[in-house]
């Protein structure tokens, strides 16, 4: 990164007491989890590889009810390997350790922010922490269905129904807490957006609402341009880990 820009970003992060962070799949690609829309992303290959009628069907609730196999095959990619937080996940946890209030809203379902030690994380698209049977409604904890995730097989309840991890699929509502944040974005000194194409609604509206409400400096780090680059004061089209490393992570 250009040294002038680096100095400016370092000053912004160093001077902020409260930082709102919005993350997407790009913060986890260095951990070995493919993103959706990047050049090597999941959507570029799943349609043919998993026999899907359209790429997003893998996370479509209507499609999942008729054919859950592709989703569990994808889940295996996440759980069959030892996925660890990236340098950027750890950097955010370190900032919190320095006494800053770091409020993270993530679109990711991989739970890597929590694994890195961040304490204030809203997974707005849910996670694999809990699950529910689509047949009888029985609730499950992660350990109950983890073996099936590792095996890549469809998780089944005692009643025969499919157990669906509490991930927000296309066609499902986001958690109430997300809509509350959208209405009242947390007070903040700086907005940091990392690794997202900013194309999935309504999640991608969150950083825009933060800016509308608080008019604070905003930094976007994403390899590729997004539809909202112009809303940010600083846009860095580089690797997230590299940027965080240069910032002292
Ligand atoms: P996306 O649409 O796939 O966009 C990811 C963006 O990250 C792309 O624009 C890439 O250019 C960029 N990117 C990838 N790697 C890097 C890197 N190392 N450095 C900088 N930029 C990088 O993903 P979004 O998060 O925007 O879309 C939201 C979806 C993706 C949510 O519903 C997620 O649940 C879902 N998703 C999550 C995961 C995960 O939990 N790790 C993985 C894949 C998809």
Q: Quick one: what percent of the chain has pLDDT higher than 90?
A: 83
Task: Please return the burial class of 124, using the count of CB atoms within 10 Å of its CB with bins 0-12, 13-18 and 19+.
Answer: buried
| Mean pLDDT for the stretch of residues 27-45 | 87
Rounded-to-integer distance, Cα 72 and Cα 151, Å: 9
Is pLDDT above 90 for 223? Answer: yes
Read off the pLDDT of each residue in 140-156 and give the average, rounded to a whole number.
Answer: 92
CA atoms within 13 A on the CB side of 209: 18
- Token reading at 205: 């509206």
To the nearest whole number, what is the mean pLDDT of the chain?
95
Residue 31 has pLDDT above 80, yes or no: yes
Residue nearest to atom 39 of ligand 1 (CA): 108
Average pLDDT rounded to a whole number, residues 239-247: 98
- Average pLDDT on 167-178 reads 95
Q: Over 90: is that where the pLDDT of 232 sits?
A: yes
The pLDDT of residue 39 is 79
* CA 126 to ligand 1 centroid distance, Å: 15
- CA 36/CA 104 separation, integer angstroms: 20
Quick check: 132 pLDDT over 80?
Answer: yes
The rounded Å distance from CA 33 to ligand 1 centre is: 9
Output the pTM of the full model: 0.95
**Would you place residue 235 in the very low, low, confident or very high pLDDT band (cuts 50, 70, 90)?**
very high
Nearest CA to ligand 1 atom 25: 24
> What is the whole-number distance in angstroms between the Cα of residue 9 and the centre of ligand 1?
22
Q: Are strands 163-167 and 218-221 parallel, antiparallel or unpaired?
A: unpaired
CA pair distance 226, 245, nearest whole angstrom: 23
pLDDT > 70: percent of the chain? 100
What tokens does 53 get? 């009628």
pLDDT of residue 38: 78
222 CA to middle of ligand 1, Å?
A: 9
pLDDT at 87 over 90: yes
Report the DSSP pairing between strands 139-141 and 126-133: antiparallel
Spacing, Cα 194 to ligand 1 middle (Å): 9
Residue 49 is predicted with a pLDDT of: 86
The predicted pLDDT at position 170 comes to: 92
Which of 113, 125, 142, 234 is an active site residue? 125
Please say if the pLDDT value at position 80 is more than 80: no
Give the pocket of ligand 1 (CB within 6 Å).
Answer: 24-26, 28-30, 33, 35-38, 41, 107-110, 125, 195-197, 199-200, 222-224, 239-240
Helix (H) or strand (E) holding 91: helix 87-97
72, containing H or E segment = helix 69-79
Nearest CA to ligand 1 atom 41: 25
Closest atom, ligand 1, to C-alpha of 224: 11
Smallest CA separation from ligand 1 atom 6, residue: 196
pLDDT higher than threshold 90 for residue 249: no
Q: Predicted confidence band at 221 (pLDDT cuts at 50, 70, 90)?
A: very high
According to the model, what pLDDT value does residue 51 have?
87
At residue 22, the pLDDT reads 98
The 10 Å Cβ neighbour count of residue 175 is: 15
Annotated catalytic residue 125 = yes
């Amino acid at each position: 990164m250009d040294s002038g820009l680096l100095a400016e970003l370092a000053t912004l992060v160093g001077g902020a007491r409260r930082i709102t962070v919005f993350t997407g799949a790009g913060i986890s690609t260095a951990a070995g989890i493919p993103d959706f829309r990047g050049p090597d992303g999941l959507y570029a290959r799943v349609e043919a590889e998993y026999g899907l009628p359209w790429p997003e069907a893998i996370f479509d609730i209507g499609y999942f009810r008729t054919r859950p196999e592709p989703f569990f095959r994808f889940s295996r990619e996440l759980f069959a390997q030892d996925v660890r937080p990236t340098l950027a996940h750890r950097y955010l946890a370190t900032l919190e350790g320095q006494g800053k209030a770091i409020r993270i809203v993530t679109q990711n379902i991989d739970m890597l922010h929590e694994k890195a030690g961040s304490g204030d994380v809203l997974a707005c698209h849910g996670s694999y922490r809990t699950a529910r049977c689509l047949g009888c409604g029985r609730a499950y904890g992660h350990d109950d269905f983890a073996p099936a995730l590792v095996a890549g097989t469809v998780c089944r309840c005692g009643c025969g129904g499919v157990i669906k991890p509490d991930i927000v699929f296309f066609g499902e509502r986001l958690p109430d807490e997300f809509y509350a944040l959208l209405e009242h974005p947390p007070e903040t000194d700086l907005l940091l957006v990392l690794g997202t194409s900013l194309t999935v609604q309504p999640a991608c509206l969150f950083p825009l609402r933060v800016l509308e409400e608080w008019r604070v400096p905003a930094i976007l780090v994403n390899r590729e341009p997004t539809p909202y680059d112009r809303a940010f004061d600083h846009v860095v089209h580089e690797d997230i880990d590299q940027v965080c490393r240069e910032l002292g992570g």
